[in-house]
Chain A
Amino acid sequence: MHSFKSDLHIHTVLSPCADLDMSPTNIIDRAKQLGLQCIGITDHNSTLNAKVARKLGEKQDIFVLMGAEVTSKEEAHCLCFFEKEEELDSFQVWLDEKLPKIELDTNIFGYQLVVNEEEEILDEKPYLLISAIDADIEQIYEKVHSLNGLFIPAHINKPANSLISQLGFIPPDIKADAFEISNLSIKNEFIKKNAYLKNYQFLQDSDAHFLSALGSMYCNFVMEERTFEEFRLAIKGIDGRKVETIK
């Protein structure tokens, strides 16, 4: 069994709120410098820079989990990850259907850029990606699970855009594979105050929008190798796999 340093919540230049330095190329280079072995690419309501990040990651032995940070109808942020490109593509089609068509004002929100391995701009997405999509939390996890993906509500301890801020508490019948807590809280203290969540798996990530934030928080995934299925086993704590949080 090996321990893999993993930061699974990172935004690229596709997220309007991310710095323009956050190209997949720069993210992979920085991750390499920091000794991160796995990263997650999770732009707001879009997966369109995840595949190029994975290709770039392969060249430097960094495993990339492809996904998105989806904003539910309730305005709760959720990380969604997929193994295969076909699954990711199906999810993207669904996201495009559900995203409201609000024109992006780049002066206010910034740019939403799809780029290639050479950092050339392939597309600028016209509709604001940080809007709430037309699907509630149940519809999102049902969609993600129908595509064999992982569903992880993001930074649930944050006072805005989190499942707890929006819905008061985590719905007891939610089918979450894990929860992410932001570095505002120490995991054990958070669980003490939220005992009803103690049997869940928790992750901590950087939620980086700037290169300097990359790896500022991470987990160690203890597993056999870096594959999607091993991540799933680690999150579920099966067969000796586990996730170790550092804070």
Chain B
Amino acid sequence: MTVRQLAQELNMNIISGEKGLDNPIEGGYTSDLLSDVMGNSEMGQCWITLQTHKNIMAIASLKEIACIVLVKGLLPNDDTKQQSNEEGIPILSTQKETFEITGEIYSLLKK
């Protein structure tokens, strides 16, 4: 599944990083502690978080994350968005809470 397909399937808004919409998604990681994400996330995962600080992009880039999903309608800070565009790592936004969207993405990827 690509980031574009994931966004369509779960009706998420594409906020930035359109260049990376064809990135394949190979799994997911849910955490708001960036030190934890740095230590434990894997390449090609979609990362579900409520953090909007631009450091999320640095971590996503370092770990080669496929895309970031922001929960509860949160939007990235301007500098976060800019870096997402530069790096081609998309940021998606959903109105749903972390528990719900994690479950939905999990079910979708398991199919």
Chain B: interface residue count, which band? 10 to 19
Q: Which one of B37, B38, B53, B77 has the greatest number of beta carbons of chain A within 10 Å?
A: B53
A165 and B36 CA atoms in complex are apart in Å by: 8
A168 and B34 within 8 A (CB): yes
B54 and A74 within 8 A (CB): no
Q: B10 interface residue, CB < 8 Å from A?
A: no
B-side contacts of A168, CB under 8 Å:
34-35, 37-38, 55, 58-59
A-side contacts of B54, CB under 8 Å:
171
A137 and B54 CA atoms in complex are apart in Å by: 11
Interface residues of A in 150-179 (CB under 8 A from B): 159, 164-169, 171
A-side contacts of B32, CB under 8 Å:
166
B-side contacts of A164, CB under 8 Å:
35
Binding site for A on B (CB under 8 A): 32-35, 37-38, 51-55, 58-59, 77
A167 and B34 within 8 A (CB): yes
B58 and A136 within 8 A (CB): no
B-side contacts of A74, CB under 8 Å:
51, 53
User: Can you list 19 A-B contacts (CB < 8 A)?
Assistant: A74-B51, A74-B53, A136-B53, A137-B53, A165-B33, A165-B34, A166-B32, A166-B35, A167-B34, A167-B51, A167-B55, A168-B34, A168-B37, A168-B58, A168-B59, A169-B38, A169-B58, A171-B53, A171-B55
Binding site for B on A (CB under 8 A): 74, 136-137, 159, 164-169, 171
A74 and B52 CA atoms in complex are apart in Å by: 9
Identity of the chain A residue whose Cβ is nearest the Cβ of B52 in the assembled complex? A136
A136 and B37 CA atoms in complex are apart in Å by: 20
A165 and B58 CA atoms in complex are apart in Å by: 15
Q: Which one of B32, B38, B55 has the greatest number of beta carbons of chain A within 10 Å?
A: B55
Identity of the chain B residue whose Cβ is nearest the Cβ of A170 in the assembled complex? B55
Smallest CB–CB gap between B53 and chain A, Å?
6
Known: A136-B52, A167-B53, A168-B58; 12 extra A-B contacts, CB below 8 A, are: A74-B53, A136-B77, A159-B35, A166-B33, A166-B34, A167-B51, A167-B55, A168-B59, A169-B38, A169-B55, A171-B53, A171-B55
A133 and B58 CA atoms in complex are apart in Å by: 24
A-side contacts of B51, CB under 8 Å:
74, 166-167
Smallest CB–CB gap between A137 and chain B, Å?
7
Smallest CB–CB gap between A160 and chain B, Å?
8
A164 and B38 CA atoms in complex are apart in Å by: 11
Smallest CB–CB gap between B104 and chain A, Å?
26
B-side contacts of A165, CB under 8 Å:
33-35
A-side contacts of B38, CB under 8 Å:
168-169
B-side contacts of A171, CB under 8 Å:
53-55
A171 and B51 CA atoms in complex are apart in Å by: 14
A168 and B53 CA atoms in complex are apart in Å by: 11
